């Protein structure tokens, strides 16, 4: 067993590694090394915590760590990049549920200590946590109770919210916004009841208050995320990431674990900052995101007139051969078809022919922040031709050909033209200003978010139907 000095030193080292990991993820070239910083930091944190003072029951803990490690390794090896958003949502739910269980157990231990003290039974058989509780003054125990309440509320909201986000991302739950009659009033009422239960608990009410608090919080998390449309899921995933961090931090205070506090605060603050950045990118109100108050329409959306005009591979290749500048806009459809390598080869051939080729990346392209950047980096697309929306949007009027691969909402002109659209006011890539737009799409459906796109009906747009990878592969032999 290690002394507290070793554990404290390990906590500082792990915290530094976590900070380095977060900092490195801001740069694609340093991201792989940053991930290793995080892996090593977590290994140090788990090892030194497990063998720290007051820790026992290794006969149970070591097998559970081994089982969890094997499951995590197998899941990570089997999950495709297209399923990464669902995996992230699922992992957030685990953190939330763990926070609820730990908080419940902390209160049971508190009650056990108080009962033993009332009977003057001592604390010889107390657990390490119970022994710590036995040393606390009454005001410190009140703070412990506050930490328990906060952990249960945030953890429960995170759990059910993440489960619904997983369902929507995986297509198992309808991506359209859905609310029960009463809408936000139900959420407000449930939150008010949670506050009442917290007051009763702090004034000596039984364990039942924490059970009801969790049940109401589970409902709030479920109803909040059910009310958010599929088009906004990237922001939701980021927001839930922040929630899971704050839940972990609350449990860190409860357990007097400095490393858990630091780690939770890093995750919570970075997730909140990312959510804010994404809200600005989507022209959403940050407070409304936190309250789950966006994603619904304000009225009937405008009718789309015209028809979608299809084109074959020969027609697309002919136009590309005559073009000087090409912009490619990737979306989740490219990830589903695993077309990134075919796209990379197309880019190589076009650049070899002397054409200017660049990528336009919307901040919420795909279903996870940075999703498209990771896929393109995996396919070895040069970093310097991958541009963000603000860097390239003004260049579309000077672009000969834009190829949209599996994107819908991020290239939808209704965001600018239709105030009743679910994505009204969201900044989008103005691809329709290009001379020609080719949309690589499986069929004529509205896609994951269920929002119709007038771009598909414009005169300068041609629909290149089919699986994205097969469609791009069919172009390769036709490019001069």
The answer to whether the CB of 225 falls within 8 A of the CB of 156 is no
Instruction: Give dist(CA 165, CA 153) in Å, integer.
Output: 18
The answer to whether the CB of 224 falls within 8 A of the CB of 157 is yes
Residues 11-48, buried b or exposed e (16+ Cβ, 10 A)? bebbbebbebbbebbeeeeebeebeebbebbeebbeeb
Structure tokens at 449: 């978010």
Instruction: Give dist(CA 435, CA 442) in Å, integer.
Output: 23
The answer to whether the CB of 431 falls within 8 A of the CB of 411 is yes
Q: Report which of 467, 464, 468 is spatially closest to residue 437, judged by C-alpha positions.
A: 464
Choice among 409, 417, 418, 467 that is catalytic: 409
The answer to whether the CB of 407 falls within 8 A of the CB of 442 is no
Instruction: Give dist(CA 165, CA 226) in Å, integer.
Output: 8
Instruction: Give dist(CA 102, CA 148) in Å, integer.
Output: 9
Q: Which residue, chain included where needed, has tokens 């009906």?
A: 457
Q: Which strand (E) or helix (H) includes residue 437?
A: strand 436-441
Q: How many CB atoms lie within 10 A of CB 62?
A: 11
Tell me the sheet residues that pair with 330.
405
CA 256 vs. chain centroid, Å, equals 28
What does the DSSP assignment read for 303-347? PP-S-PPB--HHHHHHHHHH-SEEEEEE-HHHHHHT-HHHHHHHH
Q: Which residue, chain included where needed, has tokens 């939150």?
A: 191
Q: Report which of 253, 214, 234 is spatially closest to residue 96, judged by C-alpha positions.
A: 214
Active site residue 409: yes
Q: How many CB atoms lie within 10 A of CB 124?
A: 7
Q: Please give the C-alpha separations between residue 143 and each of 110, 152, 250, 396, in angstroms, as whole numbers.
A: 12, 14, 11, 57
Handedness of CA 10, 264, 54, 46 (dihedral sign): negative
Instruction: Give dist(CA 407, CA 399) in Å, integer.
Output: 18
Radius of gyration of the chain (CA): 26
- Enzyme catalytic residues: 409
């Amino acid at each position: 067993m290690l002394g507290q000095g070793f554990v404290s030193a390990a906590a500082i080292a792990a915290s530094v590694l976590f900070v380095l990991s977060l900092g490195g993820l801001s740069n694609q070239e340093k991201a792989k090394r940053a991930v290793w910083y995080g892996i090593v930091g977590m290994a140090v944190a788990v090892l030194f915590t497990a063998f720290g003072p007051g820790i026992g029951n290794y006969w149970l803990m070591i097998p559970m760590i081994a089982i969890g490690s094997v499951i995590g390794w197998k899941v990570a090896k089997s999950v495709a990049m297209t399923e990464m958003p669902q995996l992230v949502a699922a992992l957030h739910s685990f953190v939330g549920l763990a926070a609820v269980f730990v908080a419940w157990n902390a209160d049971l231990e508190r009650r056990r200590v108080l009962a033993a003290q009332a009977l003057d039974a001592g604390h010889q058989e107390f657990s390490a946590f119970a022994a710590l509780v036995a040393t606390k003054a009454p005001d410190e125990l009140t703070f412990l109770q506050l930490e328990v309440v906060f952990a249960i509320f945030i953890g429960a909201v995170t759990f059910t919210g993440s489960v619904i986000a997983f369902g929507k991302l995986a297509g198992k739950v309808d991506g359209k916004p859905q609310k029960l009659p009463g809408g936000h009033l139900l959420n407000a009422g449930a939150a008010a009841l949670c506050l009442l239960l917290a007051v009763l608990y702090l004034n000596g009410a039984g364990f039942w208050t924490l059970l009801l608090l969790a049940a109401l919080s589970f409902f709030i998390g479920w109803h909040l995320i059910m009310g958010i449309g599929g088009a906004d899921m990237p922001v939701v995933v980021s927001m839930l990431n922040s929630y899971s961090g704050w839940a972990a931090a609350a449990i860190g205070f409860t357990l007097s674990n400095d490393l858990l506090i630091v780690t939770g605060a890093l995750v919570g603050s970075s997730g909140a900052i990312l959510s804010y950045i994404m809200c600005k990118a989507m022209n959403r109100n940050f407070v409304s995101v936190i309250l789950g108050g966006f994603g619904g329409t304000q009225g009937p959306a405008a009718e789309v007139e015209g028809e979608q005009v299809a084109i074959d591979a020969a027609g697309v290749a002919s136009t590309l051969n005559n073009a000087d500048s090409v912009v490619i806009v990737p979306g989740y459809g490219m990830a589903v078809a695993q077309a990134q390598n075919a796209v990379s080869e197309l880019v190589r051939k076009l650049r070899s022919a002397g054409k200017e080729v660049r990528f336009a990346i919307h901040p919420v392209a795909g279903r996870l922040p940075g999703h498209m950047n990771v896929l393109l980096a995996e396919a070895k697309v040069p970093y310097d031709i991958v541009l963000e929306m603000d860097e390239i949007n003004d260049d579309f009027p000077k672009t000969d050909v834009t190829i949209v691969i599996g994107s819908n909402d991020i290239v939808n002109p209704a965001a600018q033209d239709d105030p009743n659209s679910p994505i009204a006011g969201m900044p989008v890539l103005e691809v329709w200003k290009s001379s020609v737009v080719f949309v690589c799409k499986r069929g004529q459906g509205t896609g994951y978010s269920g929002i119709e796109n007038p771009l598909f009906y414009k005169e300068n747009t041609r629909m290149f139907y089919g699986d994205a990878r097969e469609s791009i592969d069919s172009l390769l032999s036709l490019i001069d």
